[in-house]
Every structure is written in C-alpha cells, then in structure tokens.
Structure 1
Amino acid sequence: MPKYSNLAGKVLEFLATGALLGFTRGKQQRLELLKEADYIWHTIDQKELQSLLRRFKIYKYVQVDNNRVLLTSKGKARWLSYKLKNLKLKQSKKWDGKWRMVLFDIPEAKKKIRDALRRKLKEIGFLEFQKSVFVYPYACRDEINFIINFFDISDLVYYIETPISPDDFLRKSFKLN
C-alpha cells in the first residue's frame, strides 16, 4: 500500500469533507466544512492533483463519474487511516483538575488491536498507568471516540473523566505542578 504524501492526505480530506457535507445537519458545521474544503482546494497544485487523482483511481480510492470525483469505500478507509495516523491531542492552557482515563479489556483474540490501541494512546501522549489503563490530563473524548470507532472496539473500551487522589505522580509526569 502506498505511503501518504501531504498532498494525498489533503485530497483525501477534501473528498471526505464533501462526503461529510451530506450528513451534516447544523448550518455552522456545514459552513466550517465548506471553509475547510475551500482552504484545502486553494492550497493544491492542479497538475499534482490530476496526477494524484489518476493514482487514486488505479488504487480504487476514487470513482470518477460525470466529472465528479467520489471516494470509494476503500478510499474512505484510507482517509480514516490517514486521520488516525495524524491524530493529535490538544492541550488546554489551564488544566481543569480532571484526569481522562481510557480503560479496556480486549480479549487475546484481538491482541493486535489491543497492542495497536496501546501504541496509539502512548503516541498521542497518554501515560500507561497499568497495562489496560491510560491517563491524560486534558479533554479528548472526541479523539478517543474516533480511535475506538476506528478499531471497532466501542464495547470493550471505557472513557472516564475523574479526579484522582493522590495524583502527585501524574502531575509530575505531565509537568502540571
């Protein structure tokens, strides 16, 4: 499978944004998606875009129909993989005193998914508190929901926001003192 370039990621995002417009109910959300799509479109070199679309067609990521370019299910899966790979957590300027915990009990039959989840949580900044308990100080429910849905493990993972006491070790680990 080919690696992503920045352009490939932008184009996947652009095409997915168009697909998302149809599922968006709120006016504000639609406006934000359109602004994002406009920004992506104006930052793309048109010759590179045509070349990339030809490659996407070969890989069956897109389907061209009456001058419309649509993401296929394979293209949507590629976009979701790209989003997961580039996922970053935001840090608030001020910590609210709550800890975000991700707890899971993923069976041995899904060991690869369990290991991938552990790697991703560490990669985005979570601290491994125990083998299946990870902690982070800032709000990240949407990002965790995305990861859980990506791996299709929503019935095996819990997200909790709670104070922890004592939390000296955690505060020190995240430099919150």
Structure 2
Amino acid sequence: MNANSSFSFTEISKFQKVHLGEPCYFESADGVKLAYYQVKANHPIASLVFIHGGGAHSGAGYQNLAYELSEKYKVEVYLLDLRGHGRSEGPRGDSPTYVQVWQDIKAFSDWVKNENSAVPLYVGGHSSGGGAVLNYLSWDKNSRADGYLFISPELGYKSETARKDIKHPFALFVGNVIQRFVELW
C-alpha cells in the first residue's frame, strides 16, 4: 500500500488475529469502571494511551496497532474503552458529558504516567477518538503528554474534516505511521 491508500474493514479482517485477553479495569472519578488492555513491551521506551473511534472499542482492530508498537518499537500501549463502549461500564455508546470523557482521559493518562514515570507518555486516538483527544487538549485542566498521535481521515462527524476522495472512509492508511511516530522521539 502506498502512503495515500485507504483500506476497509475487509482489508483489516485479513490481518492476523491478535487477541487482547481479559480487560483490566480503571475506576473513574464517578465510580464507573473503564476497561483497558495493556500491551506490555520489553524495556519500554514510551507509553501510549490510545482511544478508539466512535461506536468502536479496543478490540475493533486496535490490538494489531498495539502489538506492532509493542513488539517492534518497545512502546507500552494502553487501549482504553471509553465509558459505554466495549467492556467499560456506562450506558451503551454514550457518556454523560464531553467533560466526563475528558476527565476519564486525564485520570487514566495520569495513572499511566505514574505507572511508567521513567518513559515519555503519548496520548492518541483514531477517528473520533482522535477528535476526543484533540478536544481534550483544549480543556484547561488537561494533563499535557509528551506527544500526541492522531490516526484518522476524520476527527468525528462534526469536525468538517471529511475527505471526499477516500474510497473507504473508515480509515486512511498513512504510510509508515508507526515508524514516523517512533522517529519523532
């Protein structure tokens, strides 16, 4: 695939299946249990908190990204299921407010940073998960990370970033995105 190729769920389904195992849980400030999956790296050089796209969850293909970063680049990856998604508690597909989502991202990122204080912390997301992280950065109470990773042709349906030239709008394959992410350190 070249740097501007797109791919679909059909293409994603061709990847070798990677299983996340059972989730761990992080208790949010209001007591909702948020599921996360930690993909450990030997001698990690960085940590990444990664947020899935809208209507998805950590097991919707993101495990392949996590294992690739862990195995090839020694990045400890934490795939967080937002409240109401995947194995996290909360009304399905919903959160009480956007500030609650930001509070969850902040608390979880702070916890990961505390767990891995010897390495830089990156926060990222795919599609509207990337949009959630980008909006989180506008919040005056956010915890700054050492860097951010956005994988997405669109940052949510209200972002006005839709590209009409993409055949499969689920995801845009950005050539060597993982390698570029590592090079930025």
Q: TM-score, normalised by structure 2?
A: 0.22
More strand by share: 2
More helix by share: 1
Q: Which structure would you say has the larger RCO, counting Cα contacts within 8 Å and 6 or more residues apart?
A: 2
Q: Which structure is larger by alpha-carbon Rg, 1 or 2?
A: 1
